[in-house]
Chains A and B, each alone.
Chain A
Amino acid sequence: MLSKRIVVCLDIKDGRTTKGIKFKDNVDVGDPVQMARLYYEEGADEIVFYDITASAESRDIIIELVEEVAQQIFIPFTVGGGIRTVEDMRRVLLAGAEKVSVNTAAVLNPRISSEGARAFGSQSIILGMDAKWAGVSEKIPSGYEVWIHGGRTPTGIDAVWWAREAERLGAGEICLNSIDADGTQEGYELRITRMVSEAVSIPVVASGGAGVPEHLFEVLTEGKASAALIASMVHYNLYTIKEIKEYLDRKGVKVRKVW
């Protein structure tokens, strides 16, 4: 039986880990290589490095970071942020990442998902999606709209439709981030997570809003997510991954034990 995965996300800015609330007010929380190594040893099932600056200069910093991480961390990890071309994908995968996450580029140029999947396999291509409640309308039947450019630009695209489309294009997994819940620590957006999980047959990683272990339990059961992404909970030493996993284990959710 497959374990539910705990994915730790490190937002990277100028080679450092930062954490913001609703995509704003970022504060420095530490050295990403050291943090990744610690989370790996504590039992994180996957790590995501998200380049929030996503500029041309930051690209090289991220590649160096990935190379350094790949020498000491032997679990899958993902790189996202600013991936615009198949060549960008190739660079991070060759540097040692298992997966790349495309978000804005996948909306502006949907072919990047299919070309990436053809070149590296679907298992390497994650569609990152930022969704925000917009109210149910004819154009947005699920009520959740896709936003791009780090949550600054609405697209008029329905989140559930886009998830299905991404699967059709060849994405192997969807990382669904709720802009409304992001950084609030008040819990994941269960409704959209469940809608997307039920709409596609590829795994869904829920993101945004985790504050206490119970939130992970909710999204992995009620929300039907295959994995839960966390950041603040562990970056601010509120919980250890072991504590979170022990809680989930007690509640009957199968997780990979590392203790």
Chain B
Amino acid sequence: MIAILDYRAGNLTSVKRALDYLGHPSRITSDPREVIKASRVIFPGVGAAGKAMENLKELGLDEALREVFSSGRPMMGICLGVQIIFSRSEEDETPCLGLLEGEVKRFPEGMREGGEVLKVPHMGWNWVKWVREHPLIKGIDPEAEYYFVHSYYPDPAEKDWVIGWTDYGICFASAIGYRNLVAVQFHPEKSGRPGLKMLDNFCRWRPDAQ
């Protein structure tokens, strides 16, 4: 069973619907025991990092995620989920899970591209420049675009953890892969066929078999 982590950070039903469509049994849960027992874990989420961390701690899910990380079972962060894995976020000056060393930063004001002022949030379809092979992107057209909605972006301490980069005024890490952990800033569940393929790849991924 795949656990979809509910830490009161937005609507999780779209991830659940995508897994249903792909035929992977899953459950939305905020019970840490269920998360620890799950064969794999997805932690989506939108909203503010401060509130999200507060909820995770209150529900005991911060410890559960750390335990899943060290257990080696596959885990996938989506959107806010890629941000909370790092040490801290500029958003509300929030200490995060610290599974990986790094910071979450806000897009600077007044970014420009071709004379146009770029709007924040970064919202819409954008490319990911894949820089590493990873089971997550197996069989997906590298030219595919993904749906983003965010004002903050992850800045990992170690660039080797980055599997994909995206340009929006600046170049930021939009996909992270480290051991049994993958995390993406975009929404695969809202990114059409390539996004579905990515979720399917995650659901079949066996990190220990690499």
Binding site for B on A (CB under 8 A): 1-3, 5, 40, 45, 70-72, 74-76, 93-94, 96, 98, 120-123, 172-173, 201-203, 224, 226-227, 256-258
Contact with A along B134-165 (1 / 0, CB 8 A): 00000000010101010000000000000000
A74-B189, A123-B123 known; 11 new pairs, CB 8 Å cut-off, are A2-B123, A2-B126, A3-B126, A75-B191, A98-B190, A121-B10, A123-B46, A172-B121, A201-B119, A257-B143, A258-B192
A2 B124 Cβ-Cβ under 8 A: yes
By size class, the interface of chain B is 35 or more
Question: In this assembly, does B168 line the interface, its C-beta being within 8 Å of a C-beta of chain A?
Answer: yes
Docked Cα-Cα span, A139 to B118, in Å, equals 31
Determine the chain B residues whose CB is within 8 A of the CB of A70 once the complex forms: 13-14, 17
Determine the chain A residues whose CB is within 8 A of the CB of B117 once the complex forms: 201
Determine the chain B residues whose CB is within 8 A of the CB of A75 once the complex forms: 147, 190-192
Docked Cα-Cα span, A122 to B48, in Å, equals 11
Docked Cα-Cα span, A41 to B193, in Å, equals 9
Docked Cα-Cα span, A65 to B132, in Å, equals 41
Determine the chain B residues whose CB is within 8 A of the CB of A224 once the complex forms: 116
A2 B11 Cβ-Cβ under 8 A: no
Docked Cα-Cα span, A202 to B149, in Å, equals 12
Residue from B10, B46, B47, B168 in contact with A2 in the complex, judged by beta carbons closer than 8 Å: B168
Overall SS of chain A's interface: loop
A96 B13 Cβ-Cβ under 8 A: yes
B168 A1 Cβ-Cβ under 8 A: yes
Chain B, Cβ-Cβ closest to A202: B119
Docked Cα-Cα span, A239 to B103, in Å, equals 46
Chain A, Cβ-Cβ closest to B187: A76
